[in-house]
Amino acid sequence: MLHVPSVPVPVSAVRGTAARLLLLLTAIAVLTIGLTPAPAQAAAGIALSSASGVAGTTVTVTGAGFPKRTKGTVVAGSNRVAVTTTSTGAFQASIIPTGSGTVTVTATVGSSVASASFTVVPPAPVPAAPKAIRFGIGTNGGPAAGLELDEVSTLAGEAPSIVLSYKDFNQPVPIAELDAVRARGAETLLTWEPWTWGGGTEQPAFSLDRIAAGDFDAYLREWGTALGQWGQPVYLRFAHEMNGDWYPWAEGVNGNDTGDYIAAYRHVHDVVQSTGATNISWIWNPNVPYWGSTPLAQLYPGEGYVDSVALDGYNWGTSQSWSTWQEPQALFGEGIAQLRQLAPGKPIVIAETASSELGGSKAQWITTLFSYVSAQPDVVALVWFHIDKEADWRINSTTTSADAFAAGVAARR
């Protein structure tokens, strides 16, 4: 066996090596510590107490992540305020942004900058005082035609508060349509016609004496019950324009005799009212009187059966072989006078009206109409027939007519 002799190591050498190793470790530790990055400062940012508001709105600006205990500024449009950050680099300041549209709010503290956007919005329009004469409309699609009603609101510069509706004696109460009108903030002028649409003037099944005799009582009670349960205000005009000869409920047609209209109207009223429906306002509504029309006094059912009286009247101009241009006073004057005599103190409604473009200036006619009805203290509503039918009755049959209509609506009493 080979013997390797041990060599003694001096103690001083061991100690020297240990010292050098300790110095080396110390140096590495110092170097490592020196290379470790300090914690990063949070990025500067600001928050606004609100993102939008009308001109003059005061906004609170809250900042964080800025240099500590440093002065700076907040700018919003032409306004500027001074700020000083806290020991944590935060601040809070109030400022009123100036300008219109989107305004940039900028905070600058030292070399740190942060921004946020504030939108200056137009002030909400102040609702105009309600007009004494309510504006109403009838359109081709009726109460369910929301786009048509929106168009009218745009043309007139005002949403109608009355919407005209028509139902014959074969239809139930149009609750969905009533709800649609109410959702628009308006009320329905519900025309209830005792006939079958399109059947002509000779419809014996709907003669006035049959109505008065009770042949339709079950149907009448259905309407009264449904309207009463619905519970909201509704204007009901039964068998309108009865003084003419173009509907089967007129006297002198369809086997109807003198006195039959009043009897039928009163009977319908009483049966509907017997259901307890207290939300119905009854509108008695003849056409404007003309030569040969049935005298209104022969058709008026009496004060207790009527809440308001109304007239339908159109300026046909020269659109028909038999028609001539009629100014508003000539069209409505005699009828309004008769209504005042028959029903003193009752509100008066112009329930249907419009003008042809043929034979004169429709725009001027519209201006005169609003001026004329505004001078009648008992006229409380005007309903325009916005339909291209026998003539182009629409508000916007021409641009000048539409402009005149919007001006008339705005200027009415």
Residue among 196, 191, 198 nearest 142 (CA): 191
Q: In angstroms, what is the C-alpha Rg of the chain?
A: 41
Q: What single-letter amino acid sits at 273?
A: Q
Q: Is the distance from CB of 177 to CB of 138 less than 8 angstroms? A: no
Taking only the tens place, the pLDDT of each residue in 89-126 is 999 999 999 998 999 999 999 999 999 999 999 886 66
Evaluate if residue 7 carries a pLDDT over 70: no
Short-list 177, 140, 181, 180, CA closest to 163: 181
The Cα–Cα gap between 249 and 267 comes to 14
Residue of higher predicted confidence among 39 and 154: 154
pLDDT at 164: 98
Q: And the tokens for 399? A: 């641009």
Cα–Cα distance, 341 to 357 (Å, whole number): 33
Please, what is the Cα angle at 252 between 250 and 255, to 5 degrees?
90
Task: Tell how far CA 358 is from the center of its chain.
Answer: 33
Q: What is the pLDDT of residue 129?
A: 79
Mean pLDDT of 182-192: 97
Q: What is the per-residue pLDDT for 130?
A: 87
Reported as a single tens digit per residue, the pLDDT across 218-254 is: 999 999 999 999 999 999 999 999 999 999 999 999 9
Whole-number pLDDT of residue 93: 96
Return the pLDDT at 409. 98
Provide the pLDDT confidence category of residue 293 given band limits of 50, 70 and 90.
very high
The span from the CA of 220 to the CA of 269, in Å, is 9
Per-residue pLDDT, 1 = 44
Residues 298-323: what's their mean pLDDT?
Answer: 98
Token code pair at residue 325: 């241009």
Q: How far apart are CA 279 and CA 385, in angstroms?
A: 25
The answer to whether the CB of 365 falls within 8 A of the CB of 327 is yes
What confidence tens digit (pLDDT) does each residue in 118-139 have? 999 988 666 667 899 999 999 9
Buried b (16+ CB within 10 A) or exposed e, 225-237: ebbbebeeebbbb
Q: What is the pTM of this model?
A: 0.72
Q: Name the band, by pLDDT with cuts 50, 70 and 90, for residue 3.
A: very low
Q: What percent of the chain has pLDDT over 70?
A: 89
Q: Is 291 helix (H, G, I), strand (E, B) or coil?
A: coil
The residue type of 86 is T
Those residues with Cβ within 8 angstroms of residue 389's Cβ, 6 or more apart along the chain or in another chain: none
Residues 6+ apart with CB under 8 A from 139: 145, 148, 149, 152, 164, 386, 387
Average pLDDT, the chain: 92
